[in-house]
């Protein structure tokens, strides 16, 4: 990883460390609004894991569902640069995309990321695929619908990594529903890994 990427990752990490305390103190009535101010990153272990999976699989058509402020996107884009691919990343909020776009430029990775603003389910319906690698990390009640939209567009050998399978506990019911759906889909092989907040790693064919 080059020094520009390292510097951007370090700055994200510093912000994430500060935000842990803020996230713990969130009050329920403002919860959704406040969550939208936070990075909500997949974390260093999960980020390193998806980065190495993409490199090992030589995945080129990389899809991220849930950009937030771009922490995971940097790791995906760094891997895309090595695999000769690009990342298409989906996010609802323009200010998050603006921030992520700036960070990609700072990291020297702007050429490897295609930002798509809007509701992910609508964007997914319009994306042709096929996808070689997918990171699923939007709000958890949308995981099953997102999987249903992505599944017909998976390339042979495609990998899907879904975050938050174990934590936070309030997401557990949606996470379980997602894992049931993936495991019931034809030609999917899937395993739960205790990395970060819990990753379901699934392969097509």
Give the helix, strand, coil percentages of the chain, each rounded to 5: 55, 20, 25
166 lies in the site for ligand SAM, by CB under 6 A: no
Please, which residue, 93 or 205, has the CB nearer to ligand SAM? 93
> Among residue numbers 106 through 165, which ones bind ligand SAM (CB under 6 A)?
119-120, 137-139, 142
Among positions 4, 15, 31, 93, the unique one binding ligand SAM when judged by CB under 6 A: 93
Count of residues engaged in binding ligand SAM, rule: CB under 6 A: 19
**19-27, 40-48, 52-60, 104-112 -> range binding ligand SAM (CB under 6 A):** 40-48
Q: Which residues pair with 24 in a beta bridge?
A: none
198 lies in the site for ligand SAM, by CB under 6 A: no
- Orientation angle between helical segments 71-83 and 3-24, nearest 10 degrees: 150
Residue 47: both structure tokens together: 């980020």
Q: How far is the CB of 192 from ligand SAM (least distance, A)?
A: 18
How far is Cα 189 from Cα 185, in angstroms, rounded to an integer? 9
Quick one: DSSP state of residue 14? H
Q: Sign of the CA dihedral 103, 109, 110, 116?
A: negative
76 lies in the site for ligand SAM, by CB under 6 A: no
How far is Cα 35 from Cα 2, in angstroms, rounded to an integer? 31
Site for ligand SAM, rule CB under 6 A: 39-42, 66, 68, 71-72, 90-93, 96, 119-120, 137-139, 142
């Amino acid at each position: 990883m080059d020094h520009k990427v390292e510097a951007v990752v370090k700055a994200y990490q510093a912000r994430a460390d500060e935000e842990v305390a803020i996230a713990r103190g969130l009050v329920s009535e403002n919860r959704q609004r406040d969550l939208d101010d936070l990075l909500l990153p997949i974390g260093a272990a999960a980020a390193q894991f998806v980065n190495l999976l993409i490199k090992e699989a030589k995945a080129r058509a990389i899809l991220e569902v849930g950009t937030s402020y771009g922490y995971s996107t940097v790791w995906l884009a760094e891997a895309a640069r090595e695999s000769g691919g690009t990342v298409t990343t989906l996010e609802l909020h323009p200010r998050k995309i603006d921030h992520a776009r700036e960070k990609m430029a700072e990291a020297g990775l702007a050429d490897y990321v295609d930002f798509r603003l809007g509701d992910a389910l609508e964007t997914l319906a319009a994306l042709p695929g096929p996808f070689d690698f997918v990171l699923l990390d939007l709000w958890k009640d949308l995981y099953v619908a997102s999987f249903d939209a992505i599944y017909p567009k998976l390339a042979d050998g495609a990998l899907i990594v879904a975050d938050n399978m174990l934590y936070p506990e309030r997401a557990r019911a949606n996470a379980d529903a997602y894992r049931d759906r993936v495991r019931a889909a034809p030609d999917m092989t899937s395993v739960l890994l205790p990395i970060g907040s819990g990753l379901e790693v699934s392969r097509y064919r």
